[in-house]
Amino acid sequence: MRISYHGHAVVQIQTNGKTILIDPFINGNGLTDLKAEEVKADAIILTHGHNDHVGDTVAIAKRNDSLVIASADLTDFLSGQGVRTHGMNIGGSYKFDFGTVKLTQAFHGSGYITEKNEIIYCGMPTGILFSNEGKTIYHAGDTGLFSDMKLIGERHPIDVAFLPIGDNFTMGPEDAAYAAKLLKAKTVVPIHFNTFPPIKQNPLKFIAMLEDQNGKVLAPGEAIEI
């Protein structure tokens, strides 16, 4: 399984000939190496409805006939825009032909702002557990620290955890380091930092705070194999 990071919270998973994108915020993301019009995806998984996570989902999904997976409120909104969707909710899992997806809780907001400045309610924010080839990836989405991360790690041994460290809107480095301790992931990768001034962080300082986990800062476009 090949996992690559593409700035902000964008993660790509390649497994058994399938490509899965998480939170494809590309246009407007000054840190990404991707071009939305060139991205290919068999499936797109969204953590929540904020614009900097939904991003280019509709355009990518329409061009590739991608399946969009997210909380049911968010998929209801997106299916009205002509994309194929599969709605889920927190605690539920589903086995797709490219892997198993389970949504976890996250503590954040989830409203999409339209071009008319209307706010569309998109349900509860979530984290994502993705499992295939005997490996499990955890994308925490946008969240603060919560004690049930310990339970997530106990129930689902995690090979790679993507954790936000930007502070202001999500966990900061200190809380994210404590989250990593609770999750007991083998490898921890920081996300959701430096895209905008309020979330400016030094990811290497976060890595230095980790106690028992292997921490790795991925540059946009860089990948790891598990």
Place of tokens 């998984």: 45
Q: Where are the beta strands (DSSP E) in 72-158?
A: 84-88, 93-96, 99-105, 111-113, 119-121, 126-132, 135-139
Q: At 212, is the pLDDT very low, low, confident or very high (cuts 50, 70, 90)?
A: confident
The answer on pLDDT for 164 being more than 90 is yes
pTM of the model: 0.97
Tell me what percent of the residues of the chain surpass a pLDDT of 70: 100
Domain segments of the chain as ranges: 2-217
Which DSSP helix (H) or strand (E) runs through 73? Answer: helix 72-79
If pLDDT is split at 50, 70 and 90, which confidence band does 201 have? very high
Residue 148 has pLDDT above 90, yes or no: yes
43 forms beta bridges with 20, 67
pLDDT at position 101 over 90: yes
Q: Are the beta carbons of 7 and 13 closer than 8 angstroms?
A: no
> How many CB atoms are located within 10 Å of the residue 66 CB?
24
Q: What is the pLDDT of residue 66?
A: 98
Give the contacts of 70 (CB within 8 A, at least 6 positions apart): 45, 46, 47, 48, 49, 78, 85, 87, 88, 126
Top CATH class, 2-217: alpha beta
Sign (positive or negative) of CA dihedral 186, 139, 38, 30: negative
Residue 137 and residue 13 in contact, taking contact as beta carbons nearer than 8 Å: yes
